[in-house]
């Protein structure tokens, strides 16, 4: 009986390691994707600043500056919305992957409990 328990503990220890490795992989992927979105947003900030400076140096009047700023702001806002949508897609995908991972872990734990319950007799209250 003791060897069966030790074998099961070893089996589920390996399974636990694989589960944690899968979680690490998911987290790494999500972090990388979020970092890419942050870099895109930072690049957009640099683009906005650069375009503003170019407009200020080349504009020939107040109306031209105002129209140029409106155009720049419209374009940048559209790009920011795209980054926000990408970020929400990443978050939703991560949520779905994490839910699936958790459900799989719960199923494995349930299976392990059932197997151990078969080996170890339940004590009956007197």
pLDDT tens, residue order, the chain (126 aa): 567 667 767 777 777 888 899 999 999 999 999 999 999 999 999 999 999 999 999 989 999 999 999 999 999 999 999 999 999 999 999 999 999 999 998 888 888 778 777 776 665 654
Please report the beta strands in the chain, taking only residues with DSSP state E, as ranges in sequence order: none
Boundaries of every domain in the chain: 2-112
68 contacts 55 by C-beta, under 8 angstroms: yes
Q: Quickly count: other Cβ atoms within 10 Å of residue 56's Cβ.
A: 11
């Amino acid at each position: 009986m003791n060897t069966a328990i030790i074998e099961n503990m070893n089996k589920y220890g390996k399974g636990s390691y694989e589960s944690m490795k899968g979680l690490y992989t998911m987290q790494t992927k999500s972090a990388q994707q979020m970092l890419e979105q942050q870099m895109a947003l930072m690049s957009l900030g640099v683009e906005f600043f650069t375009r503003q400076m170019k407009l200020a140096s080349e504009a020939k009047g107040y109306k031209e500056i105002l129209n140029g700023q409106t155009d720049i702001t419209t374009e940048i806002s559209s790009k920011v919305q795209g980054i926000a949508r990408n970020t929400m897609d990443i978050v939703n995908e991560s949520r779905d992957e994490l839910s699936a991972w958790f459900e799989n872990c719960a199923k494995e734990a349930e299976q392990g409990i059932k197997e151990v319950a078969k080996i170890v007799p339940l004590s009956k209250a007197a």
